[in-house]
Chain A
Amino acid sequence: LFPQAPRMFTQSSRNSVSPVLLLVLLSCVLCPPAQASKSSEDIRCKCICPPYRNISGHIYNKNVSQKDCNCLHVVEPMPVPGNDVEAYCLLCECKYEERSTTTIKVIIIIYLSVVGALLLYMAFLVLVDPLIRKPDPYTQPLHNEEDSEDAHSLAAVPSLAGARANTVLERVEGAQQRWKRQVQEQRKTVFDRHKMLS
């Protein structure tokens, strides 16, 4: 047990470094939206005043800070004469609101770019990939029964565990092939055999 101790510690220290790194990264990503640019266009005080006697209802917006967000500062020009101001202001409701346009813009653009990337990848997989990959006449037939997996595992040498992929491209391709097989399995389970998620 003991010879493995230093290996275990380096591995665990590596493992405790990566979550800390992730934390730092996440906070860097989240901080800018959180301390959103308090630009003047992103805050407002909104006062809604209902119809009063013969005056129709009105909504007033103004860029003021939170301490100035009340009826007297925001409602301009005051539609009622001086002695009625208090009664009118009691009916009005003023709320301080702020938003972050940067956050909204960034999030929408991130979302659209992810959707676009996925669409491009899907188009690539459907249209371009089969053209650049030479069709292999020796592909084994797909095993539909999962019970035969165990039998094959004892009889056949697992073909993937042997060869270590050398170049980055081969590794990427290997990973992509594995992923495609996984998705195919999932699709069979959910869509064809209706074994799950119906």
Chain B
Amino acid sequence: MDQKGFRRGSFQSATSDEDMLEVAGASMDFSMGDDDPPLDREMGGFSSYNGGGMNGTSAMMDFLEEPLPGVGTYEDFNTIDWVREKSRDRDRHREITNRSKESTWALLHSVSDAFSGWLLMLLIGLLAGSLAGLIDISAHWMTDLKEGVCLAGFWFNHEHCCWKSNTTFTDRDKCPEWKSWSQLILGHGEGAFAYILNYLMYVIWALMFSLLAVLLVKGFAPYACGSGIPEIKTILSGFIIRGYLGKWTLVIKTITLVLAVSSGLSLGKEGPLVHVACCCGNILCHLFTKYRKNEALRREVLSAAAAAGVSVAFGAPIGGVLFSLEEVSYYFPLKTLWRSFFAALVAAFTLRSINPFGNSRLVLFYVEFHMPWHLLELVPFILLGIFGGLWGAFFIRSNIAWCRRRKTTRLGKYPVLEVIVVTAITAILAFPNEYTRMSTSELISELFNDCGILDSSKLCEYVNDFNSTKGDDLPDRAAGPGVYTAMWQLALALIMKVFITIFTFGMKVPSGLFIPSMAVGAIAGRLLGVAVEQLAFYHHDWAIFSGWCSQGADCITPGLYAMVGAAACLGGVTRMTVSLVVIMFELTGGLEYIVPLMAAAMTSKWVADAIGREGIYDAHIRLNGYPFLEAKEEFSHKTRAMDVMRPRKNDPPLTVITQDTMTVEDVETIVTSTTYSGYPVVVSRASQRLVGFVLRRDLIISIENARKKQDGIVSTSIICFTDYCPPLPPSSPSVLKLRSILDLSPFTVTDETPMEIVVDIFRKLGLRQCLVTHNGKLLGIITKKDVLKHIAQMANQDPDSILFN
């Protein structure tokens, strides 16, 4: 079967793992869907689904006073019913409020119920912050492990190893406790042989880390690969992916993220941190009944957790909330705004107290200068914006093409080999150039840095005129030889990063996109900044410069150009707007640079949108065929509901269930012979007047349960969906009453309703299906998948690419 074909060519022990695992049949076990704990057998009576039609204390409850465990839950890869979940929550809340007037205990319960949301946010913030601290410290250490080891304690990275010893001004990195690998093995660090040994050790460590990462992902939690943000977007719009936010995924994602980042691959950790934070949110939801049982409320918690994730990645709580609002969430009610901010703040505070970078900063590339900029500099900033937009569009196109190739051809059959090859190429190309050898965060930090007299890096090797130095405010100077070397090295680094990131994003290790895009933008920005600075220095008498940039003044700040370039490239790829600007200005700690950042971000978004409509995450959603109904685009075609509904003209008529004339056997036949996820219930086949809608999963569970537990239910028992079942002769078997699982208020539209309105209804209410009537009679059904296929068809895309049901 599949297994034998897969064994060919892949890493042996990994696939033999598959063969060894026992698979004892795939019977559907409703109570243990994923790592969710088993459903409570004591689901209170108030959570019975009533669809908003009847009130919770309906007197005609039949023997099913307690809904069965499993009723009201969803299968994997299905969409939730937002309306049902929200009405269940309102009922539960009403119940608690009504009961709170009775006793003090009930009052305390209602208070604790209201308070539970805040407690959950606090816990999510704490856990996300701690995990981010663990990831930061471990990644920092393991990145340096490729180059050497600290003799004073192997757990110190380079910076901490040299913390106590006295370093010289020019050689700030060298100290006796830190030994590079060639120094350790050979005894000395100079010479060609030592260089080759260092090179070899670097490549070997990189390969080891990435191999370990991909093996762990493949062996324990295959859902932990990739960025996670497209899937989280889909989950937050109502899709169910069991196990995607589970315990094992959390553990493996945290561990392998560190390994992937340390192996020198061109990826970042911001996107995966959002996934990690959402896993924390999902796992902590299980502690509170209110959030465990209700999928809609849980998604609000996940929105807040995503905000906490971005907040710890960038040290930007406000930016995190805005990112969650703009990019990740689908429905974002107002109360989630305040709670997200709270969670983000707690997470940032926790991370600060763990202090991963040793100076109370949250991010490695925090910028501290506040130099003014001139209006004429907007021209190069807009140029950077155009570059960012062009690069973003180019990256999205090529990355999607490469991922599509990975999905459809034989390339996808060798994931472990692919990771190893890409790591080897990255490591071999990265080592010779010092700007690619250092970790990308350090590179960005160095590029953002404004050169003062205290800096001795190659990038700051300007020709100094000591007589004119006044304090730390250096004028624009001519570039020394170090700067020229740095420029062409940076240009090579730029080319390498532009191309290697295309192949890295989407591999089967956790990979993020933010840091590589910011690195590309920062390099481009710094190059442009130094060019403009030298132009202003050598030609200070030109008309454009003479007004504001006289000789001896410090007017151009290349570090600012790097920052603006980073924002432009990030905006071009992800198409973020407000959240990008807010994250960037929270990184710099000042409002001076808002105008350049906005100019660059807007330009880059316009240029990128002119070339391709979608950001990278939406493009990946479309590539994978997730059933995500895009909330931002207008549907502008003149089709009507009858053009989209099923059954079409030549199809067999709609499969319906009658309210009180079908037997158990009939219904079972219908359920086994079709694969629909729900069936309309009508008064009779002749009249086709609508009674309600019943879900497949609920039907299956109820019938099975009735067959086992209830007396007298046989295949010829009548199923009755009404309050008052028709009287039967005494010799016939007892009636199976299933009114409690019937949705009495399904949404209907008439067949002449324009599709614009139908799409709007689906978006705004979060429907799964909508019934179509004509002159009051049931005619057909429109499901979310039909809507998605129709939109794809209208946009001339392949409607068969919508894979999930």
- Please give the residue numbers on chain A whose beta carbons come within 8 Å of chain B beta carbons, in ascending order: 1, 4-5, 7-9, 11-12, 15-16, 18-20, 22-23, 26, 29-30, 33-34, 36, 41, 44, 48-51, 53, 56-61, 90-91, 93, 95, 97-101, 103-105, 107-111, 114-115, 118-119, 122, 125-126, 129-130, 133, 136, 139-144, 147, 149-156, 158-161, 177-184, 186-192, 194-198
Expressed in whole angstroms, the Cα–Cα distance for A95 and B478 within the complex equals 29
Expressed in whole angstroms, the Cα–Cα distance for A16 and B472 within the complex equals 57
Which residue of chain B has its CB nearest to the CB of A97?
Answer: B359
B133 at the interface (CB under 8 A from A): yes
* B residues near A60, Cβ cutoff 8 Å: 166
Expressed in whole angstroms, the Cα–Cα distance for A177 and B24 within the complex equals 8
Stretch binding the partner chain, chosen from B122-130, B194-202, B381-389, B587-595 = B122-130
Q: Answer whether A186 and B218 are a contact pair too, CB < 8 Å, given A115-B255, A180-B21.
A: no
Q: Answer whether A11 and B137 are a contact pair too, CB < 8 Å, given A23-B123, A161-B31, A197-B624.
A: no
Q: Are A180 and B22 in contact (CB under 8 A)?
A: yes
Residues of B371-387 contacting chain A, CB below 8 A: none
Pick from B20, B355, B668: contact of A125, CB below 8 A.
Answer: B20
Expressed in whole angstroms, the Cα–Cα distance for A30 and B668 within the complex equals 55
Q: Answer whether A126 and B456 are a contact pair too, CB < 8 Å, given A104-B155, A153-B27, A160-B32.
A: no
Q: Are B672 and A100 in contact (CB under 8 A)?
A: no
Q: Answer whether A41 and B164 are a contact pair too, CB < 8 Å, given A16-B116, A184-B18, A191-B222.
A: yes
B109 at the interface (CB under 8 A from A): yes
Q: Are B137 and A107 in contact (CB under 8 A)?
A: yes
Q: Are A50 and B453 in contact (CB under 8 A)?
A: yes
Q: Are A198 and B803 in contact (CB under 8 A)?
A: no
Interface string of B185-226 (1 = CB under 8 A from A): 000000000000000000000000000100110111111011
19 A-B pairs, CB-CB below 8 angstroms? A8-B44, A12-B113, A34-B353, A48-B169, A61-B164, A100-B355, A107-B137, A108-B155, A115-B212, A125-B219, A129-B20, A139-B24, A140-B25, A142-B1, A182-B35, A183-B220, A192-B2, A197-B225, A198-B506
Which residue of chain B has its CB nearest to the CB of A33?
Answer: B354
Which residue of chain B has its CB nearest to the CB of A7?
Answer: B42
Which residue of chain B has its CB nearest to the CB of A20?
Answer: B119
Q: Are B170 and A57 in contact (CB under 8 A)?
A: yes
Closest CB in chain A relative to B252 CB, distance in Å: 8
Q: Are A151 and B672 in contact (CB under 8 A)?
A: yes
B706 at the interface (CB under 8 A from A): no
Q: Answer whether A144 and B27 are a contact pair too, CB < 8 Å, given A50-B454, A93-B454, A126-B16.
A: no
Expressed in whole angstroms, the Cα–Cα distance for A17 and B216 within the complex equals 35
Expressed in whole angstroms, the Cα–Cα distance for A115 and B364 within the complex equals 25
Q: Answer whether A198 and B624 are a contact pair too, CB < 8 Å, given A4-B45, A9-B105, A150-B675.
A: yes
Pick from B169, B216, B226, B624: contact of A122, CB below 8 A.
Answer: B216
Expressed in whole angstroms, the Cα–Cα distance for A44 and B165 within the complex equals 11
Expressed in whole angstroms, the Cα–Cα distance for A140 and B26 within the complex equals 9
Q: Are A1 and B57 in contact (CB under 8 A)?
A: yes
* B residues near A180, Cβ cutoff 8 Å: 21-22
Q: Are B354 and A143 in contact (CB under 8 A)?
A: no
Q: Are B164 and A44 in contact (CB under 8 A)?
A: yes
Q: Are A189 and B222 in contact (CB under 8 A)?
A: yes
* B residues near A26, Cβ cutoff 8 Å: 123, 126-127, 130
B13 at the interface (CB under 8 A from A): yes
Q: Are A142 and B160 in contact (CB under 8 A)?
A: no
Expressed in whole angstroms, the Cα–Cα distance for A36 and B138 within the complex equals 18
Expressed in whole angstroms, the Cα–Cα distance for A114 and B141 within the complex equals 16
Q: Categorize the interface residue count of chain B.
A: 35 or more
Which residue of chain A has its CB nearest to the CB of B40?
Answer: A11
Closest CB in chain A relative to B168 CB, distance in Å: 7
* B residues near A93, Cβ cutoff 8 Å: 454, 472
Pick from B116, B172, B700: contact of A150, CB below 8 A.
Answer: B700
B406 at the interface (CB under 8 A from A): yes
Q: Answer whether A23 and B119 are a contact pair too, CB < 8 Å, given A103-B354, A105-B153, A150-B672.
A: yes
Q: Are B32 and A152 in contact (CB under 8 A)?
A: no
* A residues near B258, Cβ cutoff 8 Å: 111
B264 at the interface (CB under 8 A from A): no
Pick from A16, A23, A126, A183: contact of B122, CB below 8 A.
Answer: A23
* A residues near B338, Cβ cutoff 8 Å: none
Which residue of chain A has its CB nearest to the CB of B95?
Answer: A1
Expressed in whole angstroms, the Cα–Cα distance for A135 and B23 within the complex equals 11
* A residues near B35, Cβ cutoff 8 Å: 179, 182
Residues of B118-147 contacting chain A, CB below 8 A: 119-120, 122-123, 126-127, 130, 133-134, 137-138, 141
B350 at the interface (CB under 8 A from A): yes
* B residues near A34, Cβ cutoff 8 Å: 353-354
Q: Answer whether A1 and B221 are a contact pair too, CB < 8 Å, given A50-B454, A150-B672, A160-B29.
A: no
Pick from B16, B46, B406, B704: contact of A153, CB below 8 A.
Answer: B704
* A residues near B163, Cβ cutoff 8 Å: 44, 99
Q: Are B22 and A133 in contact (CB under 8 A)?
A: yes
Expressed in whole angstroms, the Cα–Cα distance for A181 and B22 within the complex equals 8
Q: Are A178 and B26 in contact (CB under 8 A)?
A: no
B287 at the interface (CB under 8 A from A): yes
Expressed in whole angstroms, the Cα–Cα distance for A172 and B58 within the complex equals 43
Expressed in whole angstroms, the Cα–Cα distance for A194 and B623 within the complex equals 11
B437 at the interface (CB under 8 A from A): no
Closest CB in chain A relative to B452 CB, distance in Å: 8
Q: Are A114 and B255 in contact (CB under 8 A)?
A: yes
Q: Are A97 and B358 in contact (CB under 8 A)?
A: yes
* B residues near A100, Cβ cutoff 8 Å: 355
B499 at the interface (CB under 8 A from A): no
Q: Are B32 and A108 in contact (CB under 8 A)?
A: no
Expressed in whole angstroms, the Cα–Cα distance for A115 and B208 within the complex equals 13
Expressed in whole angstroms, the Cα–Cα distance for A41 and B160 within the complex equals 12
> Other CB < 8 Å A-B pairs besides A20-B119, A105-B155, A198-B623, 12 of them?
A1-B45, A1-B56, A1-B57, A11-B42, A50-B453, A57-B454, A139-B24, A155-B672, A159-B24, A182-B34, A186-B221, A194-B407
Q: Are A197 and B287 in contact (CB under 8 A)?
A: no
Closest CB in chain A relative to B794 CB, distance in Å: 25
Most chain A CB atoms below 10 A, which of B22, B30, B56: B22
Q: Answer whether A104 and B26 are a contact pair too, CB < 8 Å, given A97-B358, A183-B222, A198-B406.
A: no
* B residues near A57, Cβ cutoff 8 Å: 169-170, 454, 456
Q: Are B23 and A122 in contact (CB under 8 A)?
A: no
B488 at the interface (CB under 8 A from A): no
Expressed in whole angstroms, the Cα–Cα distance for A59 and B163 within the complex equals 12
Closest CB in chain B relative to A10 CB, distance in Å: 9
Q: Answer whether A130 and B20 are a contact pair too, CB < 8 Å, given A19-B119, A48-B169, A107-B137.
A: yes
* A residues near B672, Cβ cutoff 8 Å: 150-151, 154-155
Closest CB in chain A relative to B674 CB, distance in Å: 10
B678 at the interface (CB under 8 A from A): no
Q: Answer whether A103 and B137 are a contact pair too, CB < 8 Å, given A195-B624, A198-B407, A198-B624.
A: yes
Q: Are A197 and B138 in contact (CB under 8 A)?
A: no
Which residue of chain B has its CB nearest to the CB of A129?
Answer: B20
Expressed in whole angstroms, the Cα–Cα distance for A49 and B243 within the complex equals 55
Expressed in whole angstroms, the Cα–Cα distance for A59 and B175 within the complex equals 13
Q: Answer whether A108 and B25 are a contact pair too, CB < 8 Å, given A18-B287, A197-B225.
A: no
B763 at the interface (CB under 8 A from A): no
Most chain A CB atoms below 10 A, which of B6, B25, B168, B287: B25
* A residues near B31, Cβ cutoff 8 Å: 161
Closest CB in chain B relative to A162 CB, distance in Å: 10
Q: Are A153 and B700 in contact (CB under 8 A)?
A: yes
4 closest A-B pairs by beta carbon, nearest first, are: A57-B169, A108-B155, A50-B453, A130-B20
Pick from B221, B226, B287, B668: contact of A15, CB below 8 A.
Answer: B287
Expressed in whole angstroms, the Cα–Cα distance for A158 and B222 within the complex equals 27
B231 at the interface (CB under 8 A from A): yes
Expressed in whole angstroms, the Cα–Cα distance for A36 and B155 within the complex equals 17
Q: Are A144 and B2 in contact (CB under 8 A)?
A: yes
Closest CB in chain B relative to A71 CB, distance in Å: 13
Q: Answer whether A190 and B222 are a contact pair too, CB < 8 Å, given A16-B112, A107-B133.
A: yes
Q: Are B456 and A122 in contact (CB under 8 A)?
A: no
Q: Are A114 and B251 in contact (CB under 8 A)?
A: yes
